[in-house]
Structure formats: C-alpha cells, structure tokens
Structure 1
Amino acid sequence: MLGIVLATLDGQIISTALPTVVGDLGGMDHFSWVVTVYLLAMSATTPIWGKTGDLYGRKGAYMSSIGLFLAGSVLCGLAQNMVQLITFRALQGLGAGGLMVGALSVLGVLVAPQDRGRVQSVVGVMLPVAFVGGPLLGGFITDYMNWRWTFYVNVPVGIVALVAVARGVKLHTERVKGRIDYLGALLLTVAVMALTLMATWAGNRYSWLSQPITGLGLVAVVSLAWFVRVERRAQEPVMPPGLFRSREFSLAQVLSFLAGAVMVSTINYLPQYMQFVQGASSTVSGMLILPMMLGMLTAQLTAGRLTDRGGLDRVMPISGSAVMVVGALVLLLLGTGTPVALASALTVVMGLGVGILMQSTLLTTLNNATHKDMGAASGTVTLTRTIGGSLGVAVLGAVQSGRMHETLVGRLGSGTEERLTAGGEFTPAVLKNMPPAVRDAAEAAVTSGLRGVVIGATFLSAVAFVTTWFIRAAPRAGSPLADGAAGGEGGGSDATYTDHSRTEGEDRPATPSLRATEQKQPGAGAHATFPREPSQYSPVPDAGAPDPG
C-alpha cells in the first residue's frame, strides 16, 4: 500500500511547488519537462517492471523499484540546476513505473478473487486522495518549509515501505530460465515516448499537423505495429498476446484508457475554472473539487465490496460509465454566474462515475489474467490509464485553448487577446486588477474552454458506456490462497505461499471458478477449499524459510 502512496502522491505533490522550483533553479524554458520526463519514464517502464516481476520475482522487482524511486527522490532534492533536476526526475520516474504495478501484482497473487474487490477498493482510494492531497501538501511544504522537501518527504515513506515488504510479504518464487523481451520493451518504450510527446507538444509548442507531431505519430504507429509482431513470437513477451484473447481483458483496457482520459482532464481543468471564474486561490480551488474526490473515494470503496458479492462483474462497469455520462452532462451547467457552492457540489457526480468505472475495470483486468501473467496484466491496465490521461489532457486541452482563443478574440479583438495571453497577464491575480470588460471576457473564455473539455468528456464517457455492454459476467468461486491465509489452524496473515508465476504447462486463469471442482482438505479450516489439480498457490510448510523472491 505504501508503494502505491508513493506512486500516486509524487505525481501531484510537485505541481504547486514547480513555480518556486523553477524560480530557484532557473530555466523557465524547461518548466514542462520536469513533469513530462517523469511521466515518460514512468509510463514507458510500467509494463517492463510488471514482466520483470513475473519472470524474476515480484517481491524483488517491487523492492528494486522502491529503491530506485528513493534514490531519484534524494537526487532531485539535491539538484542544483534544471538539467540535474530533469535528469534525476527521469531516474525517479524509472522507479515509479514499478511502484503501482508491483503493488497490484503482489496483491493479485496474495488475494483471492472473491476478496479482490474489497482490497482493491482500499488501493483505489490512494489515487483520488493523491490528486487532492498532493497539491495541498506540496503547497504547504513550499510555503512553510523548502521545495526540496517535496522530494525528501518520499524517503521516510519509502523506507517504511521497503521494511514492510521485506518482512511482511512472503512469496517463495520458483525461478526458471527466461529473459526479458528486450526488443519488445524497447519498441514499447519508443511508442509510449512518441505518444506522450505528442500529447505534451501538440497544440502547445507545435500545431497538430506540424512535421514534429506527424513524425511522432508515424513513429508511434510503426513502433506499435512492430511491437505487436515481436510480442507474438517472443518467448517471454512484455505484454503476453494471450491476455488480449480474453474479450473482457481487452475491453477493460479500453475502459481504463477512457476513464483515465476523463478523470485526468476534469481534475486538471476544473481548478482553472474555480480560480478564474469563482475567484478562488490555488489552494482553495483544490478544496472546491473535494466533492469530486469524495465521490471517487466512496464509489471505489462501494464498487469493490459490491463486486465481491458476485454477479455484478458486468453491472458495475455499466453503472459506472452511465453515472460518468450523467456527471459530464451535469458539469455543462457550470457558467459564469454559477454559485461557488453549487459549482463545487456538481463535481460529485463525475467522481462517483469515474470511481466505479476505474475500480470495476481494475477488477476485470485482474480476474481475466493468469497468475503467471499477473504482473504484465497489472502493468497493462496502469499503462492504458496513464496514456489515456496524457492524451486526454492534450486533446481536450487543445479544444479548450481553441475555444478560449475564439471567445477572447470575439470580445476583445485579436490585438488585445494576443497581448493578454502572451504577456503573462492571463493569471487570476493579474486579471483581478483589469478593467471589468477584460475580466468578463476572461471569465467567459475560461467557461467556454471548460465547456469544450466537458463536451469531450461526455463523448468519451458515452463511448465507455457503449463499450461496457460487451463485457460478459464471469462467476468467481473461493480461492485456496485466501482461505488458507485467513482460516484454519496455523493460518493467518503470515502464511507463506509459493508463487508459481512461471512454471511450465497450462496457464491457469486467476478466476478459480473456471477451473476444476474443489474438494475439502482436512486441517485446513472449516471453509478452506483446494482444487483437485495442483494449486498455483501451494502452502509452504516452513513459513520461516528465507524468501528468495
């Protein structure tokens, strides 16, 4: 859990500190790269970390990613110029790529399918908490301490996480011969980098049809096509093609992409509306979207528990996407005259929809992956959500910029609009002292831009709603892992299990109900059940044996 806290919090905590960081180190031209290089490294290495865990041991891979992330955090805090900071942020991102996928893959092995919803609900809480808590914590640290502590704060949390994983996670890993699909990993990295750079630069530094953007698009398409070809032939593929033979798994990745795009876009552009139109400060604007975050928290906790009860594998994603559509339509009511309390309250519906869909998408992914591919599956769903967020912000940001430009030109004329936006005067603080006509034009422009974002989010939500109807419900039964850990004599949370993540033979689905019938085993507890065939989770007699994983 602490690894997930590190992964989700660090991506947000730097946002409010960046202006001070750039002012201290210099290099405003490289402002965006502090975030971009981190996102590039993290998203490109996420599936690679997942496959590394599948192949060489999930526990070791997870601890390595935490260590690399901590090293990058310390170096970022020690950076003396922007070049050093960007370089160390890349190192930090390399480690961050394994934090989320490492935690999810370990939980996917340790937790029974019928209990995953409850556990993943707690995991899902971390994301919305970080989106709100990160900027608030970053602002507090920057104002009352020093911006370098936005990086140093990761160190004590990371050390606790390392100790907890080393002592509390007991996975006995059977190592077999094999190696990472390096060509596939390289092609995937190139494709993700190209897509992320497109999302970062298009509509901002370059036009959408410029040579750099079209060139990046071509690189992404060629790399992805080559990647698919390589994965079909690789002995140990980064993304096992067999995963996508499951219709539910494939659809879950589409939904993860769409949910990421809607979530990240609304969270990024709603504070701007709160600041420009509602007159809120940066900190208060973050507090005004708390209802959305609370909606996500409530939905993720509830969705996981409801899914655990069975029969709702299909109902929950349909419900989540439907609520997401309603939430987007409700946000269209936001205008220049909307009371601030109402504007804040309207965001809760979107939070509920996104929370339900993201949680059910994660569960669908894990429940339709084999245990030996659990890390690759976790990496895939994390990657699709990250790419969805990046591309969603870029595409809808271009829509927002276009509508804002059109409104400002229509009200103020092209000359005034250019001086206002290019002269560093288009900020909430400066606009407060502008003539009423300029303030009104700015408020109308921001509102129009947000409406464009919401219209795009409505379309994406509608696509998600249609997609969910193609998901088939999959029944789940008891798991020997959870029952052995929770019940019976000598059970408990310290039980040790063998992770047969790469044994030869038939891939076994993560949903035990799809396998053979179960039989009772004496001495395993009143409710413990075990498959008639050899289980992928074989209890290790000596719980105190050293853990090679």
Structure 2
Amino acid sequence: MALLSQGEKRIEPLDSDGKIEISSTPDERDISSISSGEQNEDIHYLVGWRFYLSTAGIGLGLFLINFEVTIVSTALVPITNELHDFQQASWVITAYLLTYTGGLVIWAKLSDIIGRKLACLSSMIIFTAFSAGCGAAQTLLQLIVCRAFQGIGGSGIYAVTIAMVYEMVPAHKLPIYSSFVMILFLIAVALGPLLGGIISQQASWRWIFLINVPFCAVAAAMILFSVPNNFPNQGRVRHPPRPSLKSLDFLGATLMLAALALLITGLQQGSSLLSWSDSSVLAPLIVSGVSWVAFLASQWYVSREGNTIQPVFPWRFCRSRLVMALLLNAFTIGGVGITCTIQLPFRSQTAVGMTPLESGVRLLAFSAAAPLGFVAMSIAVKKRRVPPIYLSLVAQVLQIIGLVFMSRAPVDKPDWATLYGVSSLVGFGMGACNSAATLMTPFMVEKRDIAVASASVVQFRFLGSTVVLSVITSVGNTWVKNRLSEALGSENLGLLFESTELIDSLPSDLETLVRNRFIESFNLQMEIVLGVAVVSVFTTLLMWQRPQIRIP
C-alpha cells in the first residue's frame, strides 16, 4: 500500500457523476515494515456511489468464484453418479483449482498492463460463459474441460479484485474494508456446500453452475459503470507509466502454467489410478520438476537490473525470507482449510449415508466458524494492535487440536456428534489464518508488487489445497480398495468406484462394513492434514521479526 501524504484532506470532482477523495492520513506501519523505495504521494480514492457500487461488484465477484469452489463439494456424488464416473470425481474440483491456481499471478501482472477494469471485466465474461458450459455438459469429460476454462475466469476475478481491495481505501482503513470483503469470501465458502445440497436434492446439479450466469452479469455491470477506466490512478494530473504488453514475461508465464498443470495432473492421476509407479503418474511429475527449475531460472534472469521484461514472480520474493514464509504459510493454510471443506461433506454422504442437503447442513459448524475467525482476527489487530503473527499461531494451535480429534473419530459411531464441534475449531482457525495472511501481505512487499504478491498468496493457498487433496484422495481410495477387495469382490468394487449408490443396495451387514471402511479412510486422511497443520506453525515462525508488523 502506498504511503500517504500529510497534507489536508480535500474532495475534488472526478467528473459529473462522482467524486474522489484525497486521503491525508499518514501510514502508521512500523518502520521495519516499510519497503524501501516507496515515496509519499497523493492517492485518490473513490467515494459516494462509485465507492459503494464498485465494492458491491467486487464483493459479488469474490462471492461467486469462491462459492464455486465449495458448492460442488456436496453435489460431487450426485454429479458423478449421473455421469457414471465416481473414480474421476475429484477432477471436477481439481480442474477448476488447476487453472484457477495457475492463472492468478498472470492475471495480476496482466492487470498492471491493461488496467484493473478491463482485466476484471474480461475475466468475468470468461467465467460466465463457461459456467453456462458446465451446466450444459453431457459427459464428465465435457464438465471437466468447462470447469478448467471456468477456473481461468475465476482466477482473473480473484486476482484483480483482491488487488483492487488494496487500492480502494487508505492503509488505516484496510483492516475494516478487507474484513467486509473477505467475510463475503468466507460466507461463500460456508454457504456453498449447503446450497449445493439444496440444489442437487430439489432440482438438478446443473443449476449449481447456471446460477452464476445472471449474478456474474450483474457484478460485471457494477464494475463497468462504477470503476473509472484508469483506476486506481483516477484524478491524478500525471499518471504513473503503465508497462506495455511487450514487457509481460510470456516465457515465465508459460513455464509456470506448465509446471503447475503437470504437477497437479500427476498428483491427480495418482489419486485416480491408485498407483504412483505408473508412467502416466511419474512422467508429468518429473517433467513438472524440470519445468519448475526452468521457471525459477527464467525469473532470476528477467529480474536482473536493466531488463525491460517484468517477471511474473519477481526474484526479490525468493530473496526475502518473510515473503517466502508467507507463501509457504498460505500453502499449508489451503492444504488444511479447503481440504476439510471438500472432505467433510464427502464423509457424510459415503460413511453416514446422508443426502447432499444433510451433509451441507452438517458442514455449517465448520464453515460458519471461518468468518468468525476472520472477524476476530481483524478486530484484534486493528483495535488492540496485536501483531497478526501472534494470533496466527494461536489459530494454528486450535486447528491442530481440532484435527487431532477429527482423525480419531470412532468407527462404530458414523454420525459422531463431537465431530461437528471439533470441526468448528478448525474452521475458526482457518478464518483467522486467512485474515492474518491477507492483512500482512501489503506490509511485506513493495508497492509495485502488491498485485502479484496478493495473487501469489492465493495461488499458493489453492496449490496447497490441490496437492493435499490429491494426496489424501489417493491414500483414502487405496485404503478403501485394499480393505474391501475381499469382501466385495473385483466387480462390486469396480461398481463402487463408479457410483457410491451401490452402498445402499448392499445387505445390511456388508453396508455397515463398507461405511466403516470409509470412516477409517477419512481418519487416515485427517492424520495427513494434521501433519500439514503442524508444518503451518513452522512456516509462521519463519515470519518472525523484530519489531513485529502491526496494522495501523
């Protein structure tokens, strides 16, 4: 966040339809958190109807794309049962997360070149078009392909709107403003599974995707009419130079996308085939490793002084212990929070036999606690000026406690009531950790890197969820396959991995055995997630410094 001048506050007309505010509040960051090279300058902020309408557009856009991540969690079983391919079920989520994750930094950098408004509107058009495509899909392959393109649009909406959040208000108002916007994000995560269950049970799962079309069109209209074309430089006599398209690091972007796509494809193949020695698993993982090395080498090369190409991942990030710790922390936060959001409804439907709606209701204990954690963190760091890193450590301890109990759920009690209470601890911790990462990001990087840094945090968060989800899916499916192969036989086992509706048709004693094995599988998966949560504590400690960052 740019530092603000200390002159008088004044209101000047932007045009006949709106106004801009020139903020005069001095930035209150600790000296240690001010990046070198930043200078004080007047920053013009939107006020009045432009501010409120653009905020509504940003909030609605963020709501829809994050709503899309979790709404599928309770509808996944009905979708794959209708399209007859349960074994490939996780691709419906992973395809979206793959392109969503891969596009974040690229969209952030592109918005620096073509402008925030144009980048935001372009991504909304892509998201809307392929949401309609998902709703019309007739095969699982068609759905997966449309989900991948839908993720491209979603990544653009997130990357650009988050950058706009940091540019909408002065630094001293950021905790309150970001809390409002991020609460919408967490509400979307909370409501997604519930509404997914309602839609799947009362109508068709296709409306899970089609519902995005009218609402995203409304969000695009809000941005179109309220955000100035030259945002965030509206009202300035002299605009800072905007980089040209030629300065975009196309090689770096290509290598990063290839590395991410191959990594996630290899992990996903491993979880689907239940084998990590197959060539279709090893080949993409090996090539992904080579691509990552090539990507890092390219970023080092283009980050050299005097180079006109702007790297998609500045090498100065790699040289900063704080920034790298922040990104690793985001990886582990996503590996815990989003994975639980997907797996808890899955457990309810396979191990307990609940309907999609019932599983969505059960998830509320977890997902409703996340906004509370975010709000509690924001209030504490703003009103009490407690360093976010202290509270982040407390939140991670809560996650660990919750996961210890979740990984030890009794097999003879499928609908274990205690599970919903301990899952709320994990949800609260997830919200608080997300709040800490969001609030600290602009205070750890230079002003020119805010868009890329905020996108990178989200990218690592979703990359963490994709990697952990693929690993635990493989482990869980392998566990179920090995424990049920003798009892079910190869034919019924194949039918089970095609559609879980088979469980309801089994004899009572065999049905109980299958559901118990799914509970054991879930417990094993949560032990892996618990390990990720423990690692998260160490990544937070890597951000330790003196004095600590305090939010003004």
Q: Is the 8 A contact 1:275 1:281 kept in 2?
A: yes
Q: 1:369 aligns with which of 430, 434, 445?
A: 445
TM-superposition CA deviations, 1:421-457 (whole Å, max 9, x none): 2223897654345334323322331221111112112
> Greater shift after overlay, 292-301 or 161-170?
161-170
CA distance in 1, matches of 2:519, 2:348: 10
Matching residue of 2:147 = 89
**Alignment partner of 2:258 out of 172, 180, 190:** 190
Partner of residue 424 from structure 1, selected from 486, 496, 499:
496
CA drift at 1:220: 1.2
1:535 is matched with which residue?
A: none
What is the one-letter code of the residue matched to 2:432? I
Report what 2:484 is aligned to. Answer: 408
Instruction: Name the CA distance, whole Å, in 1 between partners of 2:143 and 2:351.
Output: 34
3-state SS of the aligned residue for 1:444? helix
C-alpha contact (below 8 Å) 2:347/2:519 kept by paired residues: yes
Judge conservation of contact 2:85–2:499 (CA < 8 Å) in 1: no
> 1:90-489 to 2 correspondence within 5 Å?
90-170=148-228, 171-173=231-233, 174-178=240-244, 179-205=247-273, 207-234=275-302, 235-309=309-383, 310-338=385-413, 340-408=416-484, 414=486, 416-424=488-496, 430-471=502-543, 472=545, 474-476=548-550
Larger CA deviation: 348-357 vs 71-80: 71-80
- C-alpha distance 326-188 of structure 1, shift in aligned 2 (>3 A): same
3-state SS, counterpart of residue 108 of structure 1:
helix
- CA distance in structure 2 between the aligned counterparts of 1:88 and 1:440, rounded to whole angstroms: 37
**What is the aligned partner in structure 2 of residue 510 from structure 1?**
none
* TM-score, scaled to structure 2: 0.78
Structure 1 portions without partners, runs of 5+: 479-549
Q: Determine the C-alpha separation between the residues in 2 that align with 1:276 and 1:75.
A: 28
Q: Please tell me whether the aligned partners of residues 504 and 511 of structure 2 are also in contact (alpha carbons under 8 angstroms).
A: yes
Match of 1:66 among 120, 124, 147: 124
**Shift of the alpha carbon at 1:284?**
0.6
Which whole-Å CA distance do the structure 1 matches of 2:76 and 2:342 have between them?
Answer: 15
The residue type paired with residue 424 of structure 2 is: V
Q: Residues 292, 139 of structure 1: CA spacing in aligned structure 2 closer, same or farther, 3 A cutoff?
A: closer
User: What secondary structure does 1:369 align onto?
Assistant: coil
Q: Is the 8 A contact 1:73 1:155 kept in 2?
A: yes
Deviation at 1:27, TM superposition (A): 8.2
Q: Is the 8 A contact 2:382 2:551 kept in 1?
A: no
Report the Cα distance in structure 1 between the residues aligned to 2:500 and 2:85, rounded to whole angstroms: 23
User: 228-237 or 200-209: which moved more?
Assistant: 200-209
| Cα distance, 1:357–1:17 mapped onto 2, change above 3 Å | closer
Equivalent residue of 2:417, what SS? helix
Alpha-carbon spacing, 1:17–1:274, altered in 2? closer, same or farther (3 Å): closer
CA distance in 2 between counterparts of 1:327 and 1:29 reads 29
Q: Would the alpha carbon gap of residues 330 and 15 (structure 1) be closer, same or farther in structure 2, given more than 3 Å must change?
A: closer
Is contact 1:265–1:396 with CA below 8 Å preserved after alignment?
A: no
For the residue of structure 1 that corresponds to 2:216, the secondary structure is helix
Aligned residue pairs total 474
Whole-Å separation in 2 of the counterparts to 1:136 and 1:176: 43
**Structure 2 unmatched ranges of 5 or more:** 1-58, 234-239, 303-308
CA contact (8 A) 2:107 2:160 kept: yes
Answer yes or no: is the 8 Å Cα contact 2:85–2:498 preserved in 1: no
Shift of 1:55: 2.8
* Structure 2 counterpart of 1:287, one-letter code: V
In 2, distance between residues paired with 1:386 and 1:26? 27
Q: How far, CA to CA, are the matches of 2:398 and 2:452 in structure 1?
A: 30
SS in structure 1 at match of 2:62: helix
Give a deviation string over 1:117-157, Cα, whole Å, max 9, x none: 33333333344433442233334334544544333321222
Whether the 8 Å CA contact 1:55–1:175 is kept in 2: the answer is: no
Q: Secondary structure at the match of 2:409?
A: coil
Contact kept, 8 Å, 2:84 with 2:498, in 1: the verdict is no
Q: Which digits, 9 at most, give the CA deviation of each residue in 1:485-515, with x for residues without a partner?
A: xxxxxxxxxxxxxxxxxxxxxxxxxxxxxxx
The one-letter code sitting in structure 1 at the alignment partner of 2:406 is L
Q: 1:346 to 1:37 in 2, by over 3 A?
A: closer
AA at the equivalent of 1:456: I
The code of the aligned residue for 2:438 comes to L
The CA deviation at 1:189 is: 0.4
Distance 1:327 1:176 in 2: 47
What TM-score do the two structures reach when normalised by structure 1? 0.78
CA deviations 1:233-271 (Å, max 9, x no partner) are 223011112233332221111111111111222222222
Q: What displacement does 1:185 show? A: 0.2
The amino acid across from 1:385 in the alignment is: R
String of CA shifts for 1:332-366, please: whole Å, max 9, x gaps.
34113446432322211111122211221222223
Q: CA deviation at 1:227?
A: 0.8
Distance 1:119 1:421, change over 3 A: farther
